[in-house]
Structure 1
Amino acid sequence: MGNGFNDTRTDGNHSASKKGKKLEKYDVVVCGGGLAGFCAAVASARHGAKTCLVQDRPVFGGNSSSEVRVTPHGAAAFHVYAKETGIISELLIEERARNHEPIFENGWTNSVWDMTMYDLAQRTDNLTFYLNTTILDVRMAYERKIASVVGYVANTEMEIELEADVFVDCTGDGIVADRAGCEWRMGSEASEEFDEPHAPLQASGDVMGSSLLFKTKDLGYPAPFTAPDWAAKLDNPDFFYKQGRNPNDMRGGYWWIEIGMPWHTINENEDIRHELTRYVLGIWDWIKNKDPLTKELAANHAIDWIGQVPGKRESRRIMGHYLMTEHDPLNRTVFEDEIAYGGWFLDLHTPGGLLAPTSEHASSEGYDETSPYMVKSYCGPYGIPLRSAIAKDVDNLMMAGRNISVTHAALGTVRVMATTALVGQAVGTSAAIALKHGISLADVPSQAIREVKQTLLRDGCFLPNATNEDELDLARTARVTASSQASCSGSEVKAELQASGELGHQDEILRQRKGQWIAISEDVLHRVSVCVTNLSDTPQIVEAKMIPVDHIWDYRCDANPPLAATELEIMPGNYQWIDWDVQLSGDDGLKPGTYVRLDLLANPHVAWHCGNGIVPGQTCAYEMGEGKMRRDWNGPTRSFRVDPPQRAYSPEHVISGVTRPYRFTNLWRSDAKEALPQWLELKWEEQQSIGQIEITFPGSLLWEYRGYSPFYRDPQCPKDYRIEAYVDGRWQELLQVKDNYQRHCRHTLTQSVQTDTLRVVIEATNGDPSAGIYEIRCYQG
């Protein structure tokens, strides 16, 4: 990019007067380079729109950047196999593969993450970006249309004016929408307005606060600390231990160093930053020098970094064509214009933060996962409508991020960054599609929503209520076979645990009902077995039920009548396999291609042991209260056996239209007993002209971002593979890939191939003994 300066200099004294103005024209201008804005801009550019991304900081990432260091959260924190995919997944997988730094809750983000985003921005065609550029003004063409935005590039004395057909406000504070005259809300709606369970009785200006993070370093020797006089003076342990502010980790990263009210989170952001800095120093002084519970633990720790950019949770919310209330995530409303999903709980922080009587409600309860508050706050995965991301008052303005059209209560779940990244990708995609077809943004939800959904799916995203229906995808008409396929006999227990007789984990005890999802592929199920320990010295009875469920996030305990029920008698002793002859068939309601859930009801004298590792697509949960389950522990597989074994990983799953476990496993997985290489084949009745092949591999879905280690490459993901076509009576290699770790891979052939048979040969994985594929798509050149 040129600098655009008009440069005048005087002779002799080297002084200079510099004034610069630039006027540039784009199809789409995205204001704000956090995860929502970044994903919006990349998506828009990838779909052919000439796009400009404007960011007021020197790095991308917003709250997730190395300046703020908030860990990106999302649905996978509470739901297995719910990790966000698409551009955000591409970025996070890349960062883990490159980064030496372990992930800690907050405060540990380093510049590798910034550079991962910067690298993608540099490599994206059709994308121009300006960092360190603040939006100062919005110029209107007429009342309902933005003509341009005006920004100022710091340290350059340059003003830029950016014209565009579509603008996307991802500024967090809704600066563009506000300057354009859009209606917005800020504060908390009264419960009477929408009858929301989390809403207060009276409406107010209360918003969630901002946080300032810090990081420490263990020096290995004593590290003294003296707080400056202006630091907060904290001497009362109740402030910490009775108000949900537990300094339980010496590494830092306390999100509860949070302040908002009574300061205005926009106009008084600098005052908030200063107050937070005072409290960071005062809290560290308490931990290092005053708290008898932490002084010794923190003796060798020194502050390594203190943020100076507050991580903001809430300010303006721009009114769109639909206002999401908390009823939508709680009831999992199905939207015709669904373009993203969420699954974080309804996490509403206490207004005032450190100045309030208690911290965020779940924290003040000690994160009791079965409390009435957590039961009413657990939600998702749920869909998010496009209409909540289209401004109702300006025709060419969209939003993505924490400023979309939601109530304060609903913002508690949709505000987390992995969720906003999905909305951002959907908004950028929608903008490009609207421009391509020459339709208004307001008409996209009714006139082009199918194309938006199908494009998002093709780009690696997941939508709870949509599947691949792309008529151009040639793979959908192919017959699929494979060199081998795995079956599921169950999940065994570690031999060393059985030999020791010790309890594997406290979460194995049946203090409440627990369930294990089992993928059914056969039309009969003769027997199921579980491995349990009777912790008492008397026989125990455990009720067992086999319940049909809609999908792996169907947490309803008794919504559907059980297919079978019994009482299991368990004698005293450790690690016993208990058989249940269920003898189920189609006549009993057993349906191949669905899940059933094996539930064991509560008995605190009995432990149901976890299996040895995770069986793909077979997860577990426990009852949290009020007839609702939630993900158990970290989503392991509990011990079980099934007879007959279930062929849960058939090759035809690669054209099921879904790229993760959901209503079924949706995964082809080769038999682990068969050595690699393994192949999967597509065969058509007639010759096809194939120019593009797109593959979605397994991996990086089970947990959220912080569940993955430095330099991580998911073992399930194929590392080395090749694609071949059967041409003129022999196999012809079309391409070969080495050292892969990304889950969504697109390959454009240099020349289209004419064939009726195509196969993917997986030569090596990143560690798993089985080859695996979720989806293959094929398109003409």
Structure 2
Amino acid sequence: MESIFIEAEHFEDIGGWVVDQQSIVSMGSSYLMAHGLGIPVRDAKTIITIKSSGMYKVWVRTRNWVASWNNNYFPGKFQVLINQKALATTFGTEDAAWHWQDGGEIQLEGGNIEIALHDLTGFNGRCDAIFITDEPAFVPPNDYSSLRLFRKKFNLSPIKEYGNFDLVVVGGGIAGISTAISAARNGCKVALIHDREILGGNNSSEVRVGLSGLIYQEPYSELGRLVDEFGPIGHWTLWEAKKDPTSERSKRIFEIIEKYPEKKIHNGGPASNYEDALKLQTLKAEKNISLFLQTHVVAVTKDGDRITAVRGVNCRYDEEYIFKGTYFADCSGDANLGFLAGADYRVGRESKEMTDESSAPDEADNLVMGTSCQWYATAQEQETSFPDCPWAVQFNEKTCKHKIKGDWNWETGFFKDQALDVENIRDYALRVIFGNWSFIKNNSKRSERYKHYSLNWIAYIAGKRESRRLLGDVILTETDIINQIYYPDASFTTTWSIDLHYPIYFDNFDEEPFLSRAVQHQISPYAVPYRCLYSRNITNLFMAGRNISVTHIALGTVRVMRTISMMGEVVGLAASICKERNIQPREIYYKYLKHLIEKLSEGNKTHKK
């Protein structure tokens, strides 16, 4: 029997397709997606070798991504070309779930053959894998566990072990970058693991959320230097500079903004606003950091209540890696590491009875702040066209939104599992954007104003606000913040309002909500306890980011990214104390709090931009 299993993300040339790794935890793999905004993307191509000539059966793992809403359309259809000849089957036209679509039989000659994915629409067709076999009756497995084992049969790469690290950081967003740099500059050997090729998380060019929150705050006014070093100049940096216009820092900021005024665009700006290269350059300059991009952590090894190692899988090539460590930091946003390790966590809103918070609901529920896929259209010299999208969310004159940009408030997934259902959440956002744009451009009474506009960018990586929240020895509440409750282990300071998002419901609109409203409660600056930054039941696990130990209400203030960066600085400094003293994170509070306070007062050494 000759069989060849080809992971789509392994293609040597992915053309105009993109690698989407967001659903690994739910469907088991990265996949390729044709994110062309309605224009077919360039073919993805690769070469395989067939040993023997003969008839071969072809299976393609794919899905019709709109079928769960409407099974009469298939906007994500594509072809598989073998030696530039299309198979008879058009793919992406069947079930809503991931499945193996029958590609029929084909005569193949022994030797090298070229396989290509040929997009037909530009509307997010997707391919996970191709299976070619000379056993016509064999159907590859599709359930999660069996398919995982089946994949491993064809991926025989040995697991690579990368040695021992003082601190293993999972997640390369703003929190993870700050944690890694802070620990590295204070003597820790650090592994930073990130599942995308681009660093920055929500502040990357893939998601394009600006950095918010104030830095250099009391009681530890040195915290904030790191994000000021690797973070892009933007709205809040300029706002701070105007408060002290004569400083050298402020003068430098004014010069940059004068030269590049587009940097004042906070959300959904040009890709260059988010300084992907600067983040990468800053990390690569740190001799104590080993950076592992495109690597998704899928398992942990434990000894009792301690993590001893994590296993990661490369999102492009399925190579597996083992990272051993003394301490670990979950900066993944979704608390993926803590979840795998069995850390205590919460999701959704606590009840008023449970937290004694005035803004909490009477009964607990699963409402979370949603996910944004931002977008914008730009004017062209010539008139442009855009196809009708009967498979998308349907709008009319009363329900449509006359916009050329979707900002933070284009938000979906309020009652869904943000960790496990992200593909559905993102796909609904795409249906909203495409449906609204198609209507206002083609059918609305004001369509004339859009005749020169075309969609320029839509985020396909979801910009999340809330998911699992890991529980520490202190769970920060709204009451702590509003009443300015003092904790002796006060650390980073939050300044953003308690900013909570809720879905907006429209009359005569029967689909899920897609817009949000923000309810904001202004606060005075508040220093958050260090004890919110480590797990209460996994003894060597830190956390930084939107997954720290807070209630749903308290998350509303700490979740913005310049505040998150300061969390990372605190965790990095604390990890260095743990290494120096050979202790666990909890012991800092009970035995070495004075040492932590000294380090927080000194802050991190920084390299000038």
- 1:318 is aligned to 470
Which deviates the most, 195-204 or 230-239? 230-239
Alpha-carbon distance between aligned partners in 2 of 1:291 and 1:229, rounded to the nearest angstrom: 15
Q: Does 1:456 align with 2:595?
A: no
Out of 252, 258, 281, the residue aligned to residue 119 of structure 1 is 281
State the partner residue of 1:442.
586
Partner AA of 2:526 in structure 1? Y
Instruction: Say yes or no: does 1:174 pair with 2:335.
Output: yes
Q: Which residue of 2 aligns with 1:28?
A: 167
- The residue number in structure 1 matching 2:316 is 155
How far does residue 433 in structure 1 lie from its aligned partner after superposition? 1.6
The Cα of 1:236 is off from its aligned counterpart by 4.8
2:263 counterpart of 1:102? yes
Which residue, 569, 572, 589 being the options, matches 1:428?
572
State how far apart, in whole Å, the 2-side matches of 1:746 and 1:454 are.
23
- Secondary structure of the residue aligned to 1:52 is strand
Structure 1 CA distance for aligned equivalents of residues 279 and 505 of structure 2: 31
Aligned to 1:601: none
**8 Å CA contact retained: 1:107, 1:213:** yes
Aligned residue for 1:138, secondary structure, equals strand
Aligned residues: 434
C-alpha distance after superposition, 1:697-716 (max 9, x if no partner): xxxxxxxxxxxxxxxxxxxx
Q: Distance in 1 between matches of 2:454 and 2:50?
A: 51
Contact 2:378–2:456 (Cα < 8 Å) also in 1? yes
User: 1:566-604 deviations in whole A, cap 9, x for unaligned?
Assistant: xxxxxxxxxxxxxxxxxxxxxxxxxxxxxxxxxxxxxxx
Does 2:528 correspond to 1:384?
yes
Map of 1:271 onto structure 2: 424
State percent identity of aligned pairs.
31
Q: 1:204 aligns with which of 357, 360, 365?
A: 365
Distance 1:151 1:104 in 2: 36
Secondary structure at the aligned position of 1:147 is classed as strand
* Residue 296 of structure 1, CA deviation: 5.5
Cα pair distance change 1:39/1:352, threshold 3 Å: farther
Give, in angstroms, the shift of residue 357 of structure 1. 6.8
- Counterpart code for 2:565: A
Contact persistence 2:400–2:436 (CA under 8 A): no
Alpha-carbon distance change, 84 to 429 in structure 1, aligned in 2, over 3 angstroms: closer
Aligned amino acid, residue 56 of structure 1: D
Tell me the equivalent position of 2:157: 19
Higher share in helix: 2
Does 2:492 correspond to 1:340? yes
Q: Determine if contact 1:348/1:409 at 8 Å carries over to the other structure.
A: yes
Task: Return 5+ residue gaps in structure 2 as ranges.
Answer: 1-48, 52-109, 114-153, 235-252
Deviates more, 1:61-70 or 1:220-229: 220-229
CA distance in 1, matches of 2:343, 2:155: 38
In structure 2, the CA distance between the partners of 1:104 and 1:301, relative to structure 1 (3 Å rule), is farther
Check 1:225–1:17 CA distance in 2 against 1; reply closer, same or farther (3 A cut): closer
2:295 equivalent among 133, 146, 161: 133
- TM alignment of 1:220-619, pairs within 5 A: 220-237=381-398, 250=404, 252-289=405-442, 295=447, 298-351=450-503, 359-362=515-518, 374=520, 377-459=521-603
Runs of at least 5 residues in structure 1 that lack an aligned partner in the other structure: 1-8, 241-246, 363-372, 461-693, 695-743, 748-781
- Give the number of the structure whose residues are more often strand, by fraction: 1
- 1: CA distance between counterparts of 2:314 and 2:577? 30
- Contact residue 31 and residue 37 of structure 1 kept, 8 A: yes
* Other-structure match for 1:185: 346
AA partner of residue 277 (structure 1): L
SS at match of 2:500: coil
Q: Deviations over 1:629-668 (max 9, x none)?
A: xxxxxxxxxxxxxxxxxxxxxxxxxxxxxxxxxxxxxxxx
Q: CA deviation at 1:453?
A: 3.3
Q: Compare 165-174 and 152-161 and name the one that shifted more.
A: 152-161
Specify the SS of the correspondent of 1:403. Answer: coil
What secondary structure, in the 3-state scheme, does the structure 2 residue paired with 1:434 have? helix
Indicate how the Cα distance of structure 1 residues 138 and 745 shifts in structure 2: closer, same or farther if over 3 A, else same.
closer
Bigger radius of gyration: 1
Q: Displacement, 1:282?
A: 2.0
Q: Deviation per CA, 1:221-263: give whole Å up to 9, x if none.
A: 43333342222112153675xxxxxx56x3x142222111443
Instruction: Please say if residues 350 and 358 of structure 1, whose CA atoms lie closer than 8 Å, have aligned partners that are also in contact.
Output: no
Offset from partner CA, 1:489-530 (integer Å, 9 cap, x none): xxxxxxxxxxxxxxxxxxxxxxxxxxxxxxxxxxxxxxxxxx
Cα distance in structure 1, aligned partners of 2:582 and 2:167 = 13
Moved more, 54-63 or 435-444: 435-444
Distance 1:454 1:13, change over 3 A: farther
Once the 2 structures are TM-superposed, how far is the Cα of residue 125 of structure 1 from its aligned partner? 1.6
- Equivalent positions of 1:66-105 (< 5 A) are 66-75=205-214, 85-92=224-231, 97=256, 100=260, 101-105=262-266
TM-score, with structure 1 as normaliser: 0.51
- Give the residue type in structure 1 aligned to 2:158: G
- Maintained 8 Å contact 2:222/2:600: no
* SS across alignment from 1:329: helix
Q: Determine the C-alpha separation between the residues in 2 that align with 1:281 and 1:384.
A: 41
